[in-house]
């Protein structure tokens, strides 16, 4: 087995051979798979004799399937024996495949890039606790209250319009230009003059509030939480930006493409909830899917860089999430998404908790194992 590492491109090329005797272990499974979809008169699908399958698909196809299965079995062992930290799937090139001969191949796979961590605590320190003011002003509360009242009025207009339409008898007169204009005006955003006075009675129609004071207190609480979260996000972004700037590395395309696919999946899910299609969204943007993904590429590369750096810091600091906490959160997510694969959910939760622990270290909320 020959291993060639390309550190500049973060790839490894494996050149090797598998004895033909090893391939023959997978002959029965290969014939079964290739014969599963064949239709032959007089035989049930999936129950075609081996000789008939061989005649239909040919010996070359069977050997190819045998080789694919043998390599799939051997590949993880090759990675482990040669300490190859692969990401994604390999590109396979068959150099020799014939009966009674070794199966010769080359496999090129992206690997976690080799890079040196900067002094991450020193890099993060200047960005700690910057611009984290969370004080909420009376003006901000008043603006939020107006926004809530505006949405209340708009919702009530929609309800009234729906009720009026439901009560309209069949065969009613067609709308006139005047009624069309009136309906259009109803859909416009309410002005400040159209908003109701903020009274104890009004806030009780918005939620479970005793009076105006209780309502404003809740608004202030939510605004404070929002500003606190925004400040925390801004601080974390500043720290990770600084770490990316201070770290030299080559990010494999497979990692960048994986992030782009995550962006795409998330956007499609968001659009689905809004009852919009991805094609409609692209038409609105006047862009192709390829053009949109090209725009996302810099952000995807940066996100991949951040994750690689956080993983390296976690390894250096020997950070692992509490197993019970992981289990509890996995169970909570499984209740929300019963069909989700548990192993993937566990990997996701473990990554989220590990990243959070690393960020707390960088924010100075936890002590480094490297500090005396």
Nearest residue to 117 via CA among 359, 353, 315, 350: 315
> Which residues are bridge partners to 5 per DSSP?
12
Cα(304)–Cα(260) distance, integer angstroms:
10
The pLDDT of residue 46:
66
Question: Does the pTM exceed 0.75?
Answer: no
359-366: long-range contacts (C-beta < 8 A, 24 or more apart)?
Answer: 359/236, 359/239, 359/310, 361/121, 361/313, 361/317, 361/319, 362/120, 362/121, 362/124, 362/239, 362/243, 362/313, 363/124, 363/128, 363/235, 363/236, 363/239, 364/124, 364/125, 364/128, 364/129
Cα(176)–Cα(185) distance, integer angstroms:
14
CB-neighbour burial class of residue 353 (10 A; exposed 0-12, middle 13-18, buried 19+): middle
Q: Is 198 helix (H, G, I), strand (E, B) or coil?
A: coil
- Contacts of residue 141, defined as CB under 8 A and 6 or more positions apart, other chains included, come to 216, 219, 220, 223
CB of 278 closer than 8 Å to CB of 271: yes
Torsion angle (degrees, nearest 10) of CA 92, 96, 97, 98: 180
CB of 35 closer than 8 Å to CB of 115: no
Cα(174)–Cα(195) distance, integer angstroms:
31
Cα distances from 168 to residues 155, 164, 173, in angstroms, run: 20, 6, 10
Q: Is the four-CA dihedral 350, 352, 355, 361 of positive or negative sign?
A: negative
Cα(121)–Cα(39) distance, integer angstroms:
65
Helices and strands: H and E segment counts in the chain: 14, 4
The pLDDT of residue 168:
66
Cα distances from 43 to residues 54, 62, 171, 253, 283, in angstroms, run: 15, 20, 63, 47, 50
Distance of CA 222 to the CA centre of its chain: 27
* φ, ψ (nearest 5 deg) of residue 16: -155, 180
Pull the structure tokens for residue 151. Answer: 């949405």
The pLDDT of residue 130:
63
Domains of the chain: residue spans and CATH: 2-111 (3.30.70.1050), 138-217 (no CATH), 222-362 (1.10.3120)
- Contacts of residue 40, defined as CB under 8 A and 6 or more positions apart, other chains included, come to 48, 52, 56
Nearest residue to 68 via CA among 22, 111, 128, 121: 22
- Contacts of residue 277, defined as CB under 8 A and 6 or more positions apart, other chains included, come to 271
**pLDDT per residue as tens, the chain (372 positions):** 899 988 878 889 999 999 999 999 999 999 888 888 778 777 777 677 888 888 888 999 999 999 999 999 999 999 999 999 888 788 899 999 999 999 999 999 988 888 999 999 999 999 987 665 678 999 999 999 999 999 999 998 888 888 877 776 665 555 555 554 455 555 578 888 899 999 999 999 999 999 999 999 999 999 999 999 998 999 999 999 999 999 999 888 888 988 998 899 899 888 888 888 888 889 988 999 999 999 999 999 999 999 999 999 999 999 999 999 999 999 999 899 888 888 888 888 999 999 999 999 999 988 888 754
Distance of CA 90 to the CA centre of its chain: 22
> Which residues are bridge partners to 17 per DSSP?
104
Cα(70)–Cα(73) distance, integer angstroms:
5
């Amino acid at each position: 087995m020959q291993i060639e590492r390309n550190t500049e491109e973060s790839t490894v090329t494996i050149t090797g051979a598998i004895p033909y005797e090893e391939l023959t272990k997978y002959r029965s499974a290969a014939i079964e798979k290739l014969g599963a979809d064949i239709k032959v008169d007089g035989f049930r699908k999936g129950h075609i004799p081996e000789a008939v399958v061989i005649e239909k698909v040919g010996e070359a196809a069977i050997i190819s399937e045998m080789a694919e299965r043998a390599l799939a079995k051997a590949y993880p062992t090759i990675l482990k024996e040669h300490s190859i930290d692969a990401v994604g799937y390999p590109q396979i090139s068959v150099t020799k495949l014939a009966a009674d001969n070794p199966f010769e191949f080359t496999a090129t796979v992206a690997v976690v890039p080799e890079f040196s961590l900067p002094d991450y605590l020193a890099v993060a320190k200047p960005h700690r606790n910057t611009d984290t003011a969370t004080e909420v002003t009376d003006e901000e509360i008043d603006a939020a209250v107006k926004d809530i009242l505006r949405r209340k009025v708009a919702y009530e207009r929609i309800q009234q319009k729906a009720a009026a339409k439901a009560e309209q008898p069949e065969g009613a007169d067609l709308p006139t230009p005047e009624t069309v204009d009136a309906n259009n005006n109803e859909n416009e955003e309410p002005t400040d003059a159209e908003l109701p006075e903020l009274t104890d009675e009004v806030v009780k129609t918005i939620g479970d509030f005793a009076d105006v004071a209780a309502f404003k207190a809740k608004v202030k609480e939510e605004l404070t939480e929002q500003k606190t979260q925004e400040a925390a996000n801004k601080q974390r972004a500043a720290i990770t930006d600084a770490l990316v700037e201070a770290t030299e590395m080559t990010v494999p395309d497979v990692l960048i493409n994986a992030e782009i696919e995550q962006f795409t999946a998330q956007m499609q899910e968001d659009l689905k909830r809004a009852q919009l299609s991805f094609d409609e969204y692209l038409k609105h943007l006047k862009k192709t899917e390829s053009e949109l993904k090209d725009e996302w590429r810099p952000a995807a590369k940066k996100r991949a860089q951040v994750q690689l750096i956080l993983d390296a810091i976690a390894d250096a600091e020997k950070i692992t999430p509490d197993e019970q906490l992981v289990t509890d959160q996995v169970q909570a997510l499984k209740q929300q998404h019963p069909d989700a694969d548990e192993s993937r959910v566990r990997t996701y939760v473990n990554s989220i908790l590990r990243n959070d622990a690393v960020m707390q270290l960088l924010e100075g909320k936890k002590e480094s194992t490297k500090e005396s």
